[in-house]
Amino acid sequence: MDYINQAEQVIMKTYNRFPVVFKKGKGVYLYDTDGKKYLDFAAGIAVFALGYGNEGYNQALKNQIDKIIHTSNLYYNIPAIEAATKIVNASGMDKVFFTNSGTEAIEGALKVARKYAYLKQEREDYEFIAMYHSFHGRSQGALSVTGNEKYQKGFVPEGCRAVFARFNDLEDVKSKLNEKTCGIICEVVQGEGGIYPAEKEFLTGLRKLCDEKDIVLIFDEVQCGMGRCGSLFAHDLYGVKPDVLALAKALGCGVPVGAFVTSEKTSQTLVPGDHGTTYGGNPLACAAVSKVFDLYEELNLVEHVREIGAYLKEQLENLVNEYTCMKERRGIGLMQGLEFTGPVSPVINKALEKGLVIISAGTNIIRFVPPLVIEKEHVDEMISILKTAVEEAFV
Ligand SMILES: *Cc1c(COP(=O)(O)O)cnc(C)c1O
């Protein structure tokens, strides 16, 4: 409790945190300062895909620390070259810009789209079409395309916001296109907004619109990418390629790193002087990214997600059939959501008490984004704790 009191003295209160101090992790379990054990179905918000304490991963970071941690982008460094090569090969895209977070990956992607339009016609009043219930990050640019009034209010003036359309409603997007539109941005599976997967016709339609108008299509795969949906990138499941792809969260599996990745169409858009970062692509972060790609392959992780994801989906469907307080299951792979008829926070708090870490996505939805290395027995354990938590929370 001392830690928590101290934290409230010195750490800015922008979160209502759960009263837990996590001290260490092993596999898919977390341990707090009292030594209490928790099954982790949140993975630090869809980050720690490999589980905690993966030896190969930890060793790769230790090795890099002993060589060099930072050099700046004025010079080349080996881990960045290796990591970018792996991203390019895996995605079939063309060039990578490393950032320190998801929000920065979005900032970069937005700049690419603006500049792409600007090179055709020099005007400053370009706008984006973004989706309602989207989430793209907390910086001003990323917030401007985040379709949630609660996050924007007081921070992004009306005139600086994107034009919003309904997700999975192509006609609505079409009706909002005009000569000022420079790009369309969407998540392939909406995360914070409540776990809503895109429909195939929607993404195909967006691709066609962006080709016709010669504007930039941005896919935000910060949360749904990196294997979570059972393919390395979620858009591969749909056979639709973006012009810019934003990555972060599991990209470095815990080391703060993101990236925006451009296709041939957009990879010459930003030129020296157009964009930069001091830390982005630093050797330590990129050693993590590089090792993450190796381990995904070694562990056959994407295939594993498909198998365990199907099992998790089935178990959640069973719950929906069993409990009237549950409305619907949604999601793909190991990115699943369970919509309740009312607020889920009592269930989440009860689960935590019982040693299960789960998070919400909106008021009524529990989000399941576990480490990708979970096994069936962990799904069973989660379901069993969840059932007790639901029963106790709603008595
Ligand atoms: C988490 C998230 C972001 C923001 O990433 P940060 O690293 O928190 O800046 C952007 N887009 C999506 C879809 C996310 O889930």
Question: Tens digit of pLDDT for each residue in 334-386?
Answer: 999 999 999 999 999 999 999 999 999 999 999 999 999 999 999 999 999 99
Q: What angle do CA 367, 371, 373 make, to 5 degrees?
A: 135
Mean local confidence (pLDDT), 136-153:
96
Residue 182 has φ and ψ, to the nearest 5°, of: -110, -10
pLDDT (0 to 100) of residue 395: 77
Give the predicted TM-score (pTM) of the model.
0.98
- For residue 108, report the distance from its CA to the centre of ligand 1, in Å: 13
Average pLDDT for the chain: 97
Tell whether the model's pLDDT for residue 212 goes beyond 70.
yes
- For ligand 1, atom 10, the nearest C-alpha belongs to 136
Mean local confidence (pLDDT), 258-287:
98
- For residue 17, report the distance from its CA to the centre of ligand 1, in Å: 18
Confidence tier at 1 by pLDDT (50, 70, 90):
low
137 Cα nearest atom in ligand 1? 4
In eight-state DSSP terms, residue 215 is: -
Contact 152, 146 (CB under 8 A): yes
Confidence tier at 29 by pLDDT (50, 70, 90):
very high
- For residue 19, report the distance from its CA to the centre of ligand 1, in Å: 24
Confidence tier at 9 by pLDDT (50, 70, 90):
very high
Q: 382 is written with which tokens?
A: 């989660």
Mean local confidence (pLDDT), 176-205:
98
User: Which residues line the pocket of ligand 1, CB cutoff 6 A?
Assistant: 101-103, 106, 135-137, 187, 191-192, 220, 222-223, 248-249
DSSP H or E run through 10? helix 2-10
Confidence tier at 285 by pLDDT (50, 70, 90):
very high
Give 137-189 as a DSSP string.
-SSHHHHHT-B-HHHHTTTS-GGGSPEEE-TT-HHHHHHH--TTEEEEEEESE
Rounded percentage of the chain residues whose pLDDT exceeds 70: 100
Amino acid at 82: E
Mean local confidence (pLDDT), 163-185:
98
- For residue 395, report the distance from its CA to the centre of ligand 1, in Å: 35
Residue 163's CB is within 10 A of a number of other CB atoms, namely: 17
- For residue 99, report the distance from its CA to the centre of ligand 1, in Å: 12
